[in-house]
């Protein structure tokens, strides 16, 4: 039999939220109304179809004082208390009375360890002790988690009370926990009993790998978006519905926005967000903060004009240098010089233009718009997706409100890259624009993006070298 945990507590104290967060499932019903959960539901963690442990979501305690009264109605020595709880279950489990508590106790009486969830945002009351006592009578190993649903802070008084009944008391906010917190919680659960140590250690290692894999998958999805966006163009017959350049321009930028939205939906599903509400991030007016082409976005994200100029020059020089190399140096580096000059001039022109109007070409015979030439475009695009992934990393599966991705006032991730990495990425972007088929282009872009995404897990690179190596992806 595999180890299991029952998440229990008073009704509406965030048990389902905790389970949703722990197992990363946004389809678990979470509501601010009581009795959202009416029966014990198990979720088994599996690696390659091998079950390791189960987490049970249970209904909340509703009549704990009355049940404890029933349990104590007959004097019972300590060694027979579990049997008394079992007797309670057998007496009431088939009927309507105490049905929620019976559902709650069932997995525990089957051997599940206890994860008691308390809401530390309201004061402690002694009537909770009846719940603690009932759980104590089951004799199962237990740990208490302090959730934070409201504004108040009563952690200390709760901790003092819970420590008398539970082996350990840990803070765990189901609505703000990062992946690292969830793994940390499992680390603590390892010590509840010997039987749990090995399966949980395996599960923790698998979860870490999964996190890396998700970031690597995200890198592939973002790379795909960059490739699609840099070659995106729309072609229309002259007699088509878009007659003016303005309309054509709108259709073009809407097409790019649609690509980004599709990419974000894909990223969300990679992180297990299947029912994510995208309203705030997709259906925005063009001047909103979250829009891909809003001026705010372009002022914060991407690279500065100076950097774009430098990278444009470098890309041009590399392209020219390739020509020089092809003729065996007979050109006396003229190619490098001319390439660098063209690169810097074109970057300068495009970088200093308005993002909405610059950088596309309009075909003559057929109305064609795109690809978008603005040198900052791929940088902004990458920064926005990294910000989005960061938002997903910080979002738990218990949250149900629409996702809000805001760049805030922080600069994008790409601006923090080393100059060498910026140049390398700039050359990759330029190669994609020119449709150059470098053999390792795909791998280079994906690994650069993976590196950027992995930095999200290591906010303090200088002090967390150990963590960095823990989360390093297994790049093939």
Long-range contacts of 64-70 (CB under 8 A, 24+ apart): 64/10, 64/101, 64/127, 64/128, 64/130, 64/131, 64/134, 65/127, 65/130, 66/98, 67/98, 67/101, 67/130, 67/134, 68/130, 68/133, 68/134
Of 122 and 167, nearer to another protein (C-beta) is 122
Give the nearest distance from C-beta 319 to another protein in angstroms.
14
Give the nearest distance from C-beta 407 to another protein in angstroms.
25
User: Measured between alpha carbons, how far is 428 from 31 in angstroms, rounded to an integer?
Assistant: 47
Strand partners, 142: 114
Of 325 and 438, nearer to another protein (C-beta) is 438
The angle formed by the CA atoms of residues 88, 91 and 94, to the nearest 5 degrees, is: 120
Structure-block tokens of residue 267:
């990223």
Give the nearest distance from C-beta 113 to another protein in angstroms.
17
User: Measured between alpha carbons, how far is 172 from 15 in angstroms, rounded to an integer?
Assistant: 11
Give the nearest distance from C-beta 474 to another protein in angstroms.
9
Of 198 and 299, nearer to another protein (C-beta) is 198
Of 47 and 358, nearer to another protein (C-beta) is 47
Structure-block tokens of residue 230:
């840099």
Q: Decide the pairing of beta strands 50-57 and 41-47.
A: antiparallel
Chain centroid to CA 239: how far?
45
Of 29 and 286, nearer to another protein (C-beta) is 29
Give the nearest distance from C-beta 265 to another protein in angstroms.
8
Query: Which residue matches tokens 């760049």?
Result: 407
Q: Decide the pairing of beta strands 50-57 and 234-236.
A: unpaired
Of 41 and 195, nearer to another protein (C-beta) is 41
User: Measured between alpha carbons, how far is 449 from 424 in angstroms, rounded to an integer?
Assistant: 12
Query: How many CA atoms lie within 13 Å of 322's alpha carbon, on the beta-carbon side?
Result: 10
Nearest to 26 by CA among 391, 393, 396: 396
Per-residue DSSP letters for 254-270? HHHHHHHHHHHHHHHHH
Of 31 and 362, nearer to another protein (C-beta) is 31
Give the nearest distance from C-beta 4 to another protein in angstroms.
10
Of 7 and 446, nearer to another protein (C-beta) is 446
Of 206 and 358, nearer to another protein (C-beta) is 206
Give the nearest distance from C-beta 164 to another protein in angstroms.
17
Per-residue DSSP letters for 321-389? HHHHHHTTTTTTTHHHHHHHHHHHHHHHHHHTS-TTTSS--B-SSSEEE-----TTHHHHHHHHHHHHH
**Residue 271 · residue 217 · CB < 8 Å:** no
User: Measured between alpha carbons, how far is 465 from 476 in angstroms, rounded to an integer?
Assistant: 22
Of 76 and 207, nearer to another protein (C-beta) is 207
Other CB atoms closer than 10 Å to residue 377's CB: what's the count? 25
User: Measured between alpha carbons, how far is 280 from 402 in angstroms, rounded to an integer?
Assistant: 6
* Helix then strand then coil, % of the chain, to nearest 5: 50, 10, 40
Indicate the helix (H) or strand (E) that contains 223. Answer: helix 194-230
Give the nearest distance from C-beta 409 to another protein in angstroms.
31
Give the nearest distance from C-beta 361 to another protein in angstroms.
12
Of 150 and 461, nearer to another protein (C-beta) is 150
């Amino acid at each position: 039999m595999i180890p299991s945990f029952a998440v229990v507590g008073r009704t509406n104290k965030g048990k389902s939220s905790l389970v949703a967060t722990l197992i990363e499932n946004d389809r678990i019903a979470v509501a601010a109304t009581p009795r959202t959960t009416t029966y014990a539901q198990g979720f088994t963690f599996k690696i390659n179809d091998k079950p390791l442990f189960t987490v049970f979501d249970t209904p909340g305690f509703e009549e704990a004082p009355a049940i404890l009264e029933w349990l104590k109605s007959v004097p019972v020595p300590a060694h027979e208390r579990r049997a008394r709880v079992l007797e309670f279950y057998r007496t009431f489990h088939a009927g309507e009375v105490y049905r929620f508590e019976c559902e709650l106790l069932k997995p525990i009486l089957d051997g599940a360890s206890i994860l008691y969830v308390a809401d530390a945002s309201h004061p402690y009351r002694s009537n909770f002790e009846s719940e603690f006592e009932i759980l104590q009578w089951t004799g199962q190993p237990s740990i208490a988690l302090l959730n934070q649903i409201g504004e108040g802070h009563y952690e200390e008084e709760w901790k003092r009370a819970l420590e008398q009944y539970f082996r350990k008391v840990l803070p765990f906010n189901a609505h703000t926990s990062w992946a690292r917190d969830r793994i940390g919680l499992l680390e603590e659960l390892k010590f509840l009993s010997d039987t749990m140590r090995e399966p949980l250690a395996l599960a923790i290692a698998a979860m870490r790998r999964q996190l890396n894999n998700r970031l690597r998958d995200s890198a592939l999805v973002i790379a795909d978006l960059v490739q699609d966006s840099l070659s995106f163009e729309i072609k229309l017959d002259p007699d088509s519905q878009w007659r003016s350049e303005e309309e054509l321009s709108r259709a073009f930028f809407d097409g790019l926005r649609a690509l980004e939205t599709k990419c974000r939906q894909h990223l969300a599903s990679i992180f297990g967000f299947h029912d994510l509400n995208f309203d705030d991030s997709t259906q925005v007016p063009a001047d909103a903060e979250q829009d891909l082409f809003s001026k705010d976005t372009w002022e914060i994200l991407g690279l500065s004009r100076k950097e774009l100029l430098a990278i444009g020059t470098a890309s041009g020089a590399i392209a020219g240098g390739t020509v020089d190399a092809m003729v065996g140096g007979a050109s006396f580096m003229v190619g490098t010089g001319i390439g660098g000059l063209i690169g810097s001039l074109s970057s300068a022109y495009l970088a200093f233009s308005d993002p909405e109007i610059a950088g596309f070409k309009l075909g003559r015979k057929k109305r064609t718009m795109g690809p978008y030439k603005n040198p900052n475009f791929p940088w902004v695009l990458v920064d926005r997706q990294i910000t989005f992934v960061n938002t997903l990393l910080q979002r738990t599966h218990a949250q149900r409100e629409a996702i809000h991705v805001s760049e805030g006032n922080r600069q994008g991730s790409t601006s923090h890259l080393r100059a060498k990495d910026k140049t390398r990425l700039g050359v990759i972007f330029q190669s994609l624009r020119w449709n150059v088929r470098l053999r390792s282009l795909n791998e280079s872009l994906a690994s650069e993006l993976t590196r950027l995404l992995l930095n999200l897990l290591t906010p303090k690179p200088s002090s967390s070298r150990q963590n960095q190596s823990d989360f390093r992806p297994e790049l093939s």
